[in-house]
A and B are shown apart, each in its own frame.
Chain A
Amino acid sequence: AQSVTQLGSHVSVSEGALVLLRCNYSSSVPPYLFWYVQYPNQGLQLLLKYTTGATLVKGINGFEAEFKKSETSFHLTKPSAHMSDAAEYFCAVSERSGGYQKVTFGTGTKLQVIP
């Protein structure tokens, strides 16, 4: 069984400040991990993913995440927040289960960027 925990349902940062969104996972197999972003009244879109290889993964819009097996974490960061980063962010873990791609999503973190 797999699970995802996102610490903090709401995070506020000032424009230009570091963004850090936390994600911890549980998986019985080596995890495939994703971060998705959801802008208001839109569907989710992929920011980045980790499958194998380099543990520091770069995504779109200046975001990156580091897979840390020892900490079972996959935190999302961005050095300098922009107003356009205000959205809800979902961490997810994927496995092949019962013949389909089972993606378990976290409950989401809403990012507010303060001017």
Chain B
Amino acid sequence: GAGVSQSPSNKVTEKGKDVELRCDPISGHTALYWYRQSLGQGLEFLIYFQGNSAPDKSGLPSDRFSAERTGGSVSTLTIQRTQQEDSAVYLCASSSARGLSGNTIYFGEGSWLTVV
């Protein structure tokens, strides 16, 4: 597609429920990133994919968070047993090749998650 597409754009869920957030990167982009933007913490790195593997998942805040990428394209971020502190905007980004040094990463508009 023309840009990074994320769905849903808005999600309200009850505490304790599981949620799945989807990211469709720019066609042909091999690198994919998930970030979280919240009022108290700013922008935080969650996980980085190169193809289908995740060389860096050091930013996942707990074992309730997981992410996968299939076919080197679409990625899903899953949050199990959601808590109120999970409320944030979840941003996905993609890049055409390995390495931030030479490549611009393009961000989607985010999925707004509210846990009530």
Do chains A and B stick together as partners?
A: no
Contacts from A to B (Cβ < 8 Å): none
Contacts from B to A (Cβ < 8 Å): none
